[in-house]
Structure 1
Amino acid sequence: MTGLLPEGFHDRLPPQADTADALEHHVLRTARAYGYERVDPPLAEFAEALGSRLKAGGMEQAVRFVDPVSQRTLAIRPDITAQIGRIAATRMAHHPRPVRLSYAGPVLKLRASELRPERAMRQLGAELIGLDSVAAATEIVRVAVEALQAAGIEGIAIDFTLPDLVDTLAGDALAPEALARLRDRLDGKDAAGVAEIDARYLPLIAAAGPFDAALERLRGIDAGNALASRIDGLAAIAASVEGDVALTLDPTERHGFEYQSWLGFSIFARGVRGEIGRGGTYMVMHETGAEEPAVGFSLYADPVLDAGLGTRTRRRLFLPYGTDPERGRALRAEGWVTVAALTAEDTPEAQLCSHLLGDAGPEAV
């Protein structure tokens, strides 16, 4: 089979490839309208440098090879966010903060998961480096929602989480080993396991579900007001998109949010299995060892496209054989996609055209 591809790789054919291009265009155009300027980092970097910026365990997914020029190990990026942090902390360290950057490009993972079998994917998103305030997070969430809406994606839902919730509540009351076990068992909604460690954290499992009700339950748990600022901030962020998307809260969810700080969120869409993107607040490391706050989101085009969301229909205008080239130029200037017949026997059906240029102008086929 000469067309066989490695496991986890695939061709994107028309019109899905056009749909992918349109999705990317809408996301980047929306980000640009908010002041996010595009950067384009390379597909591969020195493995040691990339590994220092990837979240915990990220290099386990990196495909590595020896560079024949430098004889050093290179890694193909499994995630672009780390590269955006590097650019902000090095090449753009002089830039006034916050710096707003957007991106789009391919990523490659060493292994796929059962839920997401693709190894080669297209990642796109936006990052705001220099702030992780409520205002900054609100802007990022709004950009993500508006970008997906502009792309025609319907049934958008956001699930919020507070990655440092347990650490904030526990303070110094639990030993590090017990705290790690507690995080894992809360993440897995293991009530019996949580009770074995400290039954006072059991109400956190119930503080999940539709956003408003879950947030009120969380306020009830926070008797000491250790989470007051986080809860108020989360309420403000949610209010900015209320009515546009469905909102839920799972305050102890940590899977995939290991490197986020006070806020994390997952993005879902109707008809898509699993999430289509993630975001949240995190810290960017500088060469000096200093850190600065940041907030951003990443979307993955593949699950959206595989579900057929935002699919572009072909709108192609057939130009009969012998049509004046200037006429075709004028139609393209009007926004038509023209397909010219190259033989007298050519037909609109053969060229998958939706319209035919007739004497009175374009006509539906």
Structure 2
Amino acid sequence: MRNWLLPEYIADILPATARQVESAKAAMLEGFRVAGYELVLPPLIEYIDSLVSEEDASLELKTFKLDDQLSGRQMGLRADITPQVSRIDAHLLGERTGVTRLCYAGSVVHTRPDGLASSREPLQVGAELYGYAGIEADLEIIELMLGTLERAGVSGLRLDIGHMAIYRGIAAAAGLSGETSRALFAKLQSKDLASIRELVCDVAEPYRSAFLALPELYGPIEELDRARSRLPSLPEVELGLMQLSAVAKALEGRVALSFDLTELRGTQYHNGLLFAAYAEGWAEELARGGRYDNVGRRFGRARPATGFSLDLRDLIRILPEQGSVRGIRLAGKHWPQARAEVARLREAGEMVVIDYLGESAQALNCDRELTPDGSDWHVVSFN
């Protein structure tokens, strides 16, 4: 066995690309900062009951688990940072009563990849807004998501929008059991009409017809009018369609919009508006978000919340190349005498490389040399 091989769907990020990724991450976090979002850095590992809930089977399956030898309790490697940020808002920042804006950037680990081109170690970057239930908060998050992708160099964005409350409202009115509801939820996401028809064969009208209609309700804004005529008049359905219309009006001309009432690929903690950003050239979504009110309840503080996240690894191929900044070579024999001058140059932002082996300037990525001149030091260009 070759012990240098990495596990499947796990990859190194090598020097030039790593610099691109770190620069892009810093730019994203700066964009969040100027919009009022404070940075938090949750731990990579914590007790499993803080990372997943019993209601969220999909997140539970994604999470690596291990035993803590200090406490004897089960721990997990985080598969999603959102529950951790919710814990921070609910517990550590519990004295705040108004709107709280938080952002983050860090690695998460998945037991299985989300897709054939996905990593099992996404670099998750995101922003979340707590404490306001109005649609304005969702629109703020959507604008922040679109702006983040555009500044990273993504063009031709398309926004797919759905609403979890529409499905949940119909499922509750139909009296579906938890097991049937979860199975139907999965089949709706893949628009598997044959399986949907089988699962709802015993469901009373008008709910049976509503479930069969949902996979067909996708496309431009006109689909919202079709939905009003084909779905039962339930409070959750009316609220969902009203909010989708409000988003359409607010974003008209800003980005290409598509509506999909089976666009439910959030996690189980989502309960309202859902959205995903796509662009030509990418098979999967580039960013995803939605509303997840009251996810902090299990941490002792239920609050309205909305947010988005992206995997920075997905953007690597379009991140702007960093300028090739060449350094200054210093022969190793001069290092003891040149310490003060090297420190001064590095403090000024110059890269100074100590050459112990007499390597070429190209190998060291240098175009200048630090040379002694009596008691002084001069930086001279290579011929």
TM-score by length of 1: 0.81
Question: Which residue of structure 2 aligns with residue 32 of structure 1?
Answer: 33
Mark the CA change 1:273 to 1:152 in structure 2 (over 3 Å): closer, same or farther: same
Please say if 1:316 is aligned against 2:325.
Answer: yes
Q: Is the 8 A contact 1:89 1:287 kept in 2?
A: no
Question: Which residue of structure 2 aligns with residue 270 of structure 1?
Answer: 280
Question: Which residue of structure 1 aligns with residue 8 of structure 2?
Answer: 7
Please say if 1:303 is aligned against 2:304.
Answer: no
Question: How many angstroms does 1:31 deviate by?
Answer: 1.2
Question: Which residue of structure 2 aligns with residue 135 of structure 1?
Answer: 136
Shifted more, 92-101 versus 269-278: the winner is 269-278
Q: Is the 8 A contact 2:342 2:352 kept in 1?
A: no
Mark the CA change 1:343 to 1:171 in structure 2 (over 3 Å): closer, same or farther: closer
Q: Is the 8 A contact 1:61 1:78 kept in 2?
A: yes
> What are the residue-to-residue correspondences of 1:271-350 with 2, within 5 Å?
271-282=281-292, 283-286=294-297, 291-305=302-316, 308-319=317-328, 338=351, 342=355, 349-350=362-363
More helix per residue: 2
| 2:274 partner letter | G
Mark the CA change 1:72 to 1:23 in structure 2 (over 3 Å): closer, same or farther: same
| 2:77 partner letter | I
Question: Which residue of structure 2 aligns with residue 80 of structure 1?
Answer: 81
Identity %: 30
Question: Which residue of structure 1 aligns with residue 66 of structure 2?
Answer: 65
Question: How many angstroms does 1:269 deviate by?
Answer: 3.1
Shifted more, 324-333 versus 312-321: the winner is 324-333
| 1:279 partner letter | G
Q: Is the 8 A contact 2:270 2:290 kept in 1?
A: yes
> 2:55 & 2:350 partners in 1: Cα distance?
42
Q: Is the 8 A contact 2:291 2:307 kept in 1?
A: yes
RMSD: 3.6
> What are the residue-to-residue correspondences of 1:88-237 with 2, within 5 Å?
88-169=89-170, 172-176=173-177, 183-192=185-194, 197=200, 198-209=208-219, 211-221=220-230, 224=233, 226=235, 227-237=237-247
> 1:178 & 1:76 partners in 2: Cα distance?
30
| 1:153 partner letter | V
CA offsets 1:43-97 (integer angstroms, 9 cap, x no match) = 1111233333883332222222222222322211111111011111111111122
- Structure 1, unmatched stretches of 5+, are 358-362
Question: How many angstroms does 1:239 deviate by?
Answer: 4.1
* Secondary structure, counterpart of 2:128 in structure 1: strand
Q: Is the 8 A contact 2:165 2:240 kept in 1?
A: no
> 1:12 & 1:236 partners in 2: Cα distance?
41
Higher Cα radius of gyration? 2
Please say if 1:259 is aligned against 2:269.
Answer: yes
Q: Is the 8 A contact 1:284 1:291 kept in 2?
A: yes
TM-score by length of 2: 0.78
CA offsets 1:224-258 (integer angstroms, 9 cap, x no match) = 48544433322333444444433211112223343
| 2:319 partner letter | G
* Secondary structure, counterpart of 1:104 in structure 2: strand
* Secondary structure, counterpart of 2:276 in structure 1: strand
Question: How many angstroms does 1:301 deviate by?
Answer: 1.1
> 1:244 & 1:352 partners in 2: Cα distance?
44
Provide the aligned length of Structure 1 versus Structure 2.
Answer: 354
* Secondary structure, counterpart of 1:172 in structure 2: helix
- Structure 2, unmatched stretches of 5+, are 201-207, 332-337, 370-380
